[in-house]
Amino acid sequence: MITGQMFRRILLGSASTLLVSVMAVAQYPPGSAGQQQPNMPGQQATTPTTGTMGPDNSLANQQATADQAFVRKALEGGAAEIQLGQLAQQKSQSQDVKEFGQKMVQDHTQLSDQMKPIAQQLGVKEPKGPSKKDKQLMAKLEGLSGPQFDEAYIQAMVKDHKEDLKDFRNEAQSAQNQNVKQAAQQGAGVISQHLQMIEQIAQSHNVATDGRLKPTPGMQ
């Protein structure tokens, strides 16, 4: 027969066992089994790196593309100068303009002959002729004659040679290909001479350049 004292012992033992069980379950909250365990030191996941082009290679590729674009534009511009020079010899009534047109044909033919092998080396296809913009200029000049032709031709030559000189000088400094760099340096020298010549012709003809008239001799 179980006495009162024995019953109290059994009850206390059961309560102790139940308390230990509850505490053990409390250490593992619901859903903890599926949760990701924290990484231990030395076991942290590393972020994979992707292969990227280094800055040096990227800049080199950009400059190579710039060299190709310069060569293509130089060939187009040279073709335009040759055809415009021929047109000046035909339509101008001024000897200095005719002589300038003749020099354009000679010098730009030489520059184009020097540039063509470089274009082939760089894989640049030789353009079939002047750009669309230059063709429009030719069409405009073909409809003019006498002093009107001279004025329009002189203005176009001053503008074009200023732009070309800037492009050639920039390329002479930044070109990656040594052949392109050398051609740009030589071309810049020739174009600089052309610009000086056409600015003198503009002054002698009192032709407006950069939005203003060149003063005639004796005028202030």
Each domain of the chain, given as residue ranges in start order, spans 61-204
Res 18: pLDDT: 43
Query: Binning pLDDT at 50, 70 and 90, where does residue 51 land?
Result: very low
pLDDT category, 156, cuts 50, 70, 90? very high
Is 22 a residue whose pLDDT tops 50? no
pLDDT of residue 9: 54
Torsion of CA 66, 70, 72, 78, to 10 degrees: 180
Per-residue pLDDT band for 77 (boundaries 50, 70, 90) equals very high
CA gap 11, 36 in Å, rounded: 40
Whole-angstrom distance, CA of residue 162 vs CA of residue 171: 14
Over residues 65-88, the mean pLDDT reads 96
Query: Homologous superfamily of 61-204 in CATH?
Result: Ferritin, core subunit, four-helix bundle (1.20.1260.10)
Average pLDDT over every residue of 164-168: 97
Distance CA 89, CA 98 (A): 5
State the Cα–Cα distance between residues 13 and 219, nearest whole angstrom.
124
* pTM given for the model: 0.69
